Amino acid sequence: MERKLKFLSKSKIQGCSFLILVMTGTHNQGFDRLIKAADELSKQSKEQVFVQTGNSKITPKNCEWKKFLTPEELEKKIKESSIVITHAGAGSIINCLKNKRKTIVVPREKKFNEHINDHQIDLASALEKEKKVVMCRNMKKLGEKINKAKTLITAKQNNKELIKEIELFLG
């Protein structure tokens, strides 16, 4: 049973007209939940959406996508984007924050067979508490989270300090 997402007419997103980059990372388990939500986002909105699908079994029908990007391609896409929706991989999050991108983190969850444990939830929660990212675990709320991310202040980051904090968090 397909659930329709109720969000994202152009008028509902603050500051329209931007590229939304969606990154699933390179983990061997797919992230179909995020791909479906991104595809629906692209269908319902007039915003440009680009999805890095990774090892997901499905492919988007309503937006541009590529299975994997080279580091150079990924860096370029991040710089071109206004908002990045990413899995909660530390490297991906660091790259988004380093480039001062408004970032929505969708942690891979064990209950959806997206990862072997729920460590991504812990990292995303910690960074959201510090107001560095917006976390989204419910795909029905992705539109609301995009609007919230638009209000994030992307202050100049001390990258070394941020990386150290994330590494300490991960152990």
Q: What pLDDT score does 9 carry?
A: 37
Record the tokens describing residue 73, joined without a space: 């391609």
Mind spelling out the 3-state secondary structure of 64-111? EEECCCCHHHHHHHHHHCCEEEECCCHHHHHHHHHCCCEEEECCCCHH
Q: What pLDDT score does 156 carry?
A: 53
Of 14-28, 47-61, 151-165, the range with the highest mean pLDDT is 47-61
Instruction: Quote the pTM value.
Output: 0.81
Across the chain, mean pLDDT equals 85
Record the tokens describing residue 79, joined without a space: 């710089």
CB count in 10 Å sphere of residue 129 = 10
Nearest of 82, 96, 75 to residue 49 by alpha carbon = 82
- Backbone phi and psi for residue 21, each to the nearest 5 degrees, phi listed first: -100, 130
C-beta of residue 103 within 8 angstroms of C-beta of residue 97: yes
Q: What is the pLDDT of residues 105-129, one digit of tens each?
A: 999 999 998 999 999 999 999 999 9
CATH class of 10-170: alpha beta
Beta pairing, strands 48-52 & 64-66: parallel
Amino acid, single-letter form, for residue 98: K
Q: What is the pLDDT of residues 148-160, one digit of tens each?
A: 998 887 655 555 6
Residue ranges of domains in the chain: 10-170
CB count in 10 Å sphere of residue 47 = 19
C-beta of residue 76 within 8 angstroms of C-beta of residue 44: no
C-beta of residue 87 within 8 angstroms of C-beta of residue 108: yes
